[in-house]
Chain A
Amino acid sequence: MTVLVTGAGRYLGAHTAATLAASDTVHAVDVVPPTPELAAVLAAAGVEFSTVDPSDGHALGALLDEHSVRTVVHMAIAAMPFREGGRAAMKELNVIGTLQLLGACQRSGTVRKVVVRSSSAAYGASSRDPAIFTEDTELRAVPRGGFVKDILDIEGYVRGFRRRRPDAVATVLRFSPFLGPAADTALARYFSQALVPTVAGFDPRLQFVHVDDALEVLRRAVSEDHPGVYNVAGPGVLVLSQAIRRAGRTAVPVPGLAIPVFAKAFANLSIDQLEYLMHGKVLDVARLISEFGFRPRSTPETFKEFVSAVGSHE
């Protein structure tokens, strides 16, 4: 059984491909080639990699046929504008890339399952939201950030795919932000600063998912059948000020209006991530735990592992 993993040129995609290669033949693709480090991860796991143009539906279709792909794991979803190409390139990859990929999957005679990486951003951020989001919580406010809009489009395409291919299994995983001892995420960089800027007057509730647990959920979504939408997060919460103290850092509250001036200090977080640092987000993971039979390590545990790996700053 062949699995196609998209987004394998980046950290999470490459590690997903390497994890799945333990039990399946995995073909990995991305718009950009992996860094030497990630290329080594892929090579060690015996994963073949090729670059693709995400807007070229025919090429994607040909790739699915050529490898008789049964399962597509779609990880090529960018949470932040690219250094080259900016927001336009990010939207191209997220929206057009997903549209073309799902179109190719729909036409394919071999594809029986798609697993799509989504995000807790799907719930937006509003003061009228309930404190904890279940998979059925509806979006209450029109989102401001580009990533939220992309996520809504992406999930809309998956619903379309489900209608047109009722025989196939479609799994959507709404991940809270990733944190891991080795993963170089925007949030990891943010918490690694000696002085951590926060938005004055806001102390959001945060949740993280350990990268290893995210990989385990992806592995189970591929090897077992779990159609539907699932929240994936570490149970429990940390509030931002508490997380900063646990990391041995010092919080520097910045008035909301002055944030653009401090963009660099905010580790160049996107609007979506800034909104996250104001409103936070807590997911209900009961459905994941009962359906997948897997409980991710808690948010405090995940954060503790991260802190002991990067070293607390004293």
Chain B
Amino acid sequence: MPSAHMNKFGDFLRRRLDGDYEVDEFGFDPDMTDNVFLPMLRPLYRKWFRAEMTGVENIPADGKALVVANHSGTIAVDAVMLALGIHDEHPASRHLRLLGADFVFDTPILGEYARKSGATLACNPDAERLLNAGELVGVFPEGFKGVGKPFRDRYKLQRFGRGGFVSAALRTGAPIIPVSIVGAEEIYPLIGDIKPLARLLKIPYFPVTPTFPWLGPLGAVPLPSKWLIEVGKPIETAEYADGADDPAVVFNLADQVRETIQQTLGELLLKRPDPFA
């Protein structure tokens, strides 16, 4: 019913004009996220990428959990698609609190909207605070090594850094939920990196894809690849609780998570022989 929609939107506008909404201490603005960000991304997830998510029941209905996923696609579209997918497919409509690089929070506008969407800096104090508050936290341990890798390395998981995410899970007793995302690698196939321009613009890399920067703004349209997202079985961390500072325990668990994701990526790719099917 269009009028009901208009009323709902009118109420939203009135709340924004009065400042009558709540923001948590990280700057997460659920009112803005649910009424603006997620509706804007939904067509991209459903129509453009035809995303399919399996295993969403592995995410608990409430309480803390750390979602760990592979990262790809030149810009972090996979992170917001994962957040939208979990929100829409999970019966409890949970918000995924993403952990982002400091570069994001250094950038005007981007940093502002990242916080409003519930993201915060990828650092142990923030991750542990969110987990202790019972939130669902999302992290991409490959970081820029994952998003900024050349197209020929697609679906090859990069190094998992120092495993800070594992110690955060161990310290808070949160289960780790491995997630494998297939599809993001093909949206902006990275064939080059103009390093001097990246340095000039103070960004981690300046991407060259088959369409960008040649086609200008049109080059920013992602290719319509087919996406499959599989949420894996939770890995309980309670038994390793004392190992949060033990590099051997941390690296071991990080490897286990990495192997699980890599293996699932292989299985998903077999299910999707044509990236643009």
Contact = CB atoms under 8 A, between A and B. Distances in A.
A127 B106 contact: yes
Q: Please indicate which of the listed interface residues A200, A237, A246 has the most CB atoms of chain B within 10 Å of its own CB.
A: A237
B29 A131 contact: no
B121 A245 contact: no
B121 A242 contact: no
Given A127-B121, A130-B123, A131-B120, A243 B112 contact: no
Contact of B16 (A137, A237, A245, A256): A245
A205 B115 contact: yes
Given A127-B105, A202-B108, A237 B19 contact: no
Q: Interface extent on A, as a size class? A: 20 to 34
Interface string B1-29: 00000000000000011111101111101
A206 B25 CA distance: 9
A157 to B, nearest CB: 28
A254 B120 CA distance: 25
A137 B125 CA distance: 9
Contacts, number: 72
Contacts of A237: 23-25, 27
Contact of A202 (B21, B102, B112, B125): B112
Interface in A190-243: 200-203, 205, 236-239, 241-243
B277 interface: no
A136 B102 CA distance: 20
Contacts of B52: none
A129 B120 CA distance: 10
B30 interface: no
A295 B106 CA distance: 33
B19 A205 contact: no
A132 B129 contact: yes
Contacts of A241: 19
B68 to A, nearest CB: 20
A202 B115 CA distance: 11
B25 A132 contact: yes
A118 to B, nearest CB: 21
A239 B23 contact: yes
B109 interface: yes
Given A130-B126, A245-B19, A246-B18, A205 B27 contact: yes
B163 interface: no
A83 interface: no
B26 A131 contact: yes
A127 B25 contact: no
A242 B21 contact: yes
A132 B129 CA distance: 9
Main SS at interface, chain A: loop
B123 A201 contact: no
Interface string A73-104: 00000000000000000000000000000000
Contacts of A202: 108, 111-112
A130 B120 CA distance: 8
B71 interface: no
Contacts of B109: 201
A200 to B, nearest CB: 7
Interface in A154-191: none
B116 interface: yes
B40 to A, nearest CB: 18
Contact of A239 (B20, B27, B105): B27
A116 interface: no
A43 to B, nearest CB: 40
Given A131-B121, A239-B23, A245 B17 contact: yes
A128 interface: yes
Nearest to A303: B19
Nearest to A241: B19
A245 B18 CA distance: 5
A300 to B, nearest CB: 8
A203 B123 CA distance: 21
B23 A201 contact: no
Nearest to B124: A130
A117 B264 CA distance: 56
B19 A244 contact: yes
B18 A205 contact: no
Nearest to A239: B23
A130 B125 contact: yes
Q: Please name the 7 residue pairs, one residue from A and one from B, whose CB atoms are nearest each other, closest first.
A: A201-B108, A245-B19, A246-B19, A130-B125, A127-B106, A242-B19, A127-B105
Interface of B: 16-21, 23-27, 29, 102-103, 105-106, 108-109, 111-112, 115-116, 120-121, 123, 125-126, 129
18 contacts: A127-B121, A129-B121, A130-B125, A132-B126, A134-B125, A201-B109, A202-B112, A203-B27, A203-B116, A237-B25, A237-B27, A238-B19, A242-B23, A244-B19, A245-B16, A245-B17, A246-B18, A246-B20
Interface of A: 127-132, 134, 137, 200-203, 205, 236-239, 241-246, 256, 282
